[in-house]
Structure 1
Amino acid sequence: MAFKVIKPGLLALIQDLGRHGHQSIGLTTGGPMDEVAFRWGNALLDNHDNSPQIEITFGMLTLEAQADTSVAITGADLGATLNDRSITPWQTYAIKKGDILAFHQPVWGLRAYLAVKGGFLCEPTLGSVATVMREKIGGLTGKGDKLQKGDRLIYQAGTEHQQRSVPRLAIPDYSQTEIPVILGYQYQSFSVLERANFFSSDYKVSSNSDRMGYRLEGQEVHSNLKGIISEGIAYGAIQIPKDGQPIVLLQDRQTIGGYPKMGCVTRVGGSILAQQKPGDIIQFTPITVDQAEQERHLQMARLAQWR
């Protein structure tokens, strides 16, 4: 059976952990903008880590259940309701046939994740269902379409439900404004003053931000390099174009680029950044590779121990 899409919202996409192994032919990975929230959604339901979910940006999505199941909601609080009763994220809910599940507008954060018991069932393209609209790949149709009114999101019906919630200490703090950065090998091309400006300044999230990258507005930063030969782009790379305004490249990033890079935000930092709305203020803070690995291992250990 399925959820029927009554209202599609601003941007609701089917995502799994991404389409890996195809960047050599120009295909980006896609996947959840907030990987921490995505992984917890599947953990709450004892799903496989890669089970497809719906990533809901900003809200305004309404679904009607056509069969019993169990769902988990994680990530941002988008004012969700179940049959007009307010519900909160980071826990599971029993769904009955005919129930109406709706997401309204952000209370805090920007992106919520809806997981269903067993995962949503749709056909993978190149090994993944991750939706990348720019590349017209993945999703329900395999052509990168966002959810539309009347779409049916297939799942395996079931009456089994366990009430679960994510431990408080494991829930990310989306009010955090400091984004950790691992310094890149082009870091030395920025003068001491430019580095100091970058790490001591506030940056505002531009309205021209999306799943491809977050454009920031604030203190200009300039490299001594006039340009570089185009090279592969890692997740979280902080490009500094000619106007000096940083761009943080995320899940739907291009596969190559030719601007100098200050470094990369971490996976955990990228998840926090992806929950910031246009107009929000952030800062960057440098960390070592060891610190980033410890941060990542702590997140994965919490998940594994909870499972």
Structure 2
Amino acid sequence: MIEVIEPGLQMTLQDFGRFGYLSKGLTRGGPADESSFLWANKLLGNRFDAAQLEVTLGGAKLKFHKDCSFAITGAEVSVKLDDESLENWQSYTARAGQVLSLGQAQHGLRAYLAIAGGFDHDPQWGSVATVTRERVGGPNSDGKPIAAGQQLHGGTVADVVNRRVSWQYRPDYSKTPALGLIPGNQYDQFPDESREKFCYGDFSIDNSSNRMGVRLKGEELKYEGKGIISEGINIGSVQVPPNGEPIIMLCDRQTLGGYPKLGTISPLDISRLAQCRPGDKVRFTRVKIDKVQQQLARYYRFFDVQLACQKA
């Protein structure tokens, strides 16, 4: 239905991820920027977990082989359908034979391309989400990114008028984000100086960051507690290895970790973190878990995310 002419730096197939397999060592995967993913599906009237394409830094080109509605959210990329310029965060309908082009991202890191009805490929462990490190998911069920010439299946014309996301709900990727930290069990075992450095200082994104985790560069953080036994780690866990450079876990994280943790980044802020590029600045502030839980419940109700999918 859709032919990939150019995949850009990296293009992967992602749905909302795998749930219920962490005890087997299989990570969730799914969209790094959950918010952009959910908005793209909502624009088309899809289920919240309909599979999409995640495109890193843009530079992609695809050809439609039948009429299909689509939407693009996430990173600030220029969009053209043949020679017509289009807006991000809006739904459109392409006709058979038309070519969709995504330019290089000006701000942000990952763009999301959704089609009406979602991409239709065989799941592994209940999901088509691509996790390259574990060699699972994707159109060929081998965990590989999508290559030029790949044929992708699915899609239809949306049974809704074209929609767009209001400006007030679109993130500004050019600004330094302030991310909420929910303190964890080991938070008090870090000295006051390290806790204050993390919550009131700026950090930059290291170029080794990827879908597994984001490494931060800044003032060294010290840990004064006892060593810990490896334990399960969440998306958003802030691990502090011996070199004092924090690592924030993302969707392709390993399921166990033995480094001490300051806490967890609010799930509502992970999407913004996932759009940060190497060299971008971030800062942090402490937030209360009960307030985050209330906000997250409203957020998932708005996008009609099923409660059974909030357990990993």
TM interval, shorter chain, is: over 0.9
Aligned to 1:280: 280
Name 2:308's counterpart in structure 1: none
CA distance in 2, matches of 1:300, 1:86: 32
- Structure 1 equivalent of residue 145 of structure 2: 146
Note if contact 2:3-2:150 (Cα within 8 Å) is conserved in structure 1.
yes
In structure 1, distance between residues paired with 2:9 and 2:222: 35
Partners of 1:234 and 1:78 lie apart in 2 by 30
- Equivalent position SS for 2:132: coil
Instruction: Report sequence identity in percent.
Output: 42
Q: 1:265 to 1:99 in 2, by over 3 A?
A: same
The correspondence of residues 166-185 of structure 1 with structure 2, limited to 5 A, is 166-174=165-173, 175-185=175-185
Q: Deviations over 1:96-131 (max 9, x none)?
A: 111111112112211111110100010000100000
User: Larger deviation: 50-59 or 159-168?
Assistant: 159-168
Query: What are structure 1's unaligned runs of at least 5 residues?
Result: none
Corresponding position of 2:39: 40
Q: CA deviation at 1:167?
A: 2.5
How big is each residue's C-alpha offset from its partner over 1:236-271, in whole Å with a ceiling of 9 and x where there is no partner? Answer: 000000000000001000000000000111122110
1:117-176 deviation line (CA, Å, top 9, x unaligned) = 100010000100000000000010111010101101111444756210113332234335
Partner residue in 1 for 2:104: 105
2:7 corresponds in structure 1 to 8
Do residues 266 (structure 1) and 254 (structure 2) align? Answer: no
**What is the CA distance between 1:303 and its match in structure 2?**
3.6
Give the secondary-structure state (helix, strand or coil) at the position aligned to 1:31: coil
Matched, 1:77 2:76: yes
- Write out aligned runs for 1:111-130 (5 A): 111-130=110-129
Gaps of at least 5 residues in structure 2 are 305-312
Three-state SS of the structure 2 residue aligned to 1:134 is helix
Contact 1:228–1:258 (CA<8 Å) still a contact in 2? yes
Aligned to 1:204: 204
Q: Which amino acid aligns with 1:29?
A: R
Residue type of the alignment partner of 2:40: G
- TM-score, length basis structure 2: 0.93
CA shift for structure 1 position 9? 1.0
Q: Summarize the Cα distance change of 1:53–1:296 in structure 2 as closer, same or farther, 3 Å threshold.
A: same
Instruction: Tell whether the 8 Å contact from 1:70 to 1:94 is kept in structure 2 after alignment.
Output: yes
Q: Name the structure 1 match of 2:221.
A: 221
Cα displacement (A) at 1:286:
0.7
Q: Secondary structure at the match of 1:165?
A: coil
RMSD of aligned residue pairs (Cα, Å): 1.4
User: Given that residues 23 and 255 in structure 1 are in contact (C-alpha distance below 8 angstroms), is that contact kept between their aligned partners in structure 2?
Assistant: yes
Given that 1:35 and 1:267 are in contact with CA atoms closer than 8 Å, whether structure 2 keeps it comes out as no
For 1:266-292, what per-residue CA distance to the aligned partner results, in whole angstroms no more than 9, with x for missing partners? Answer: 122110000111000000111000221
Where 2:118 maps in the other structure, the secondary structure is coil
Q: Distance in 2 between matches of 1:149 and 1:227?
A: 47
Deviations 1:69-98 (A, max 9, x none): 100111111222211332221110111111
Q: Whole-Å Cα distance in 2 between the matches of residues 257 and 129 of structure 1? A: 25
Aligned partners of 2:25 and 2:230: how far apart in 1?
13
Greater Cα shift, 120-129 or 150-159: 150-159
* Conservation of the 8 A alpha-carbon contact between 2:44 and 2:158: no
Distance in 1, matches of 2:168 and 2:297, equals: 15
Matching of residue 30 in structure 1 with residue 14 in structure 2: no
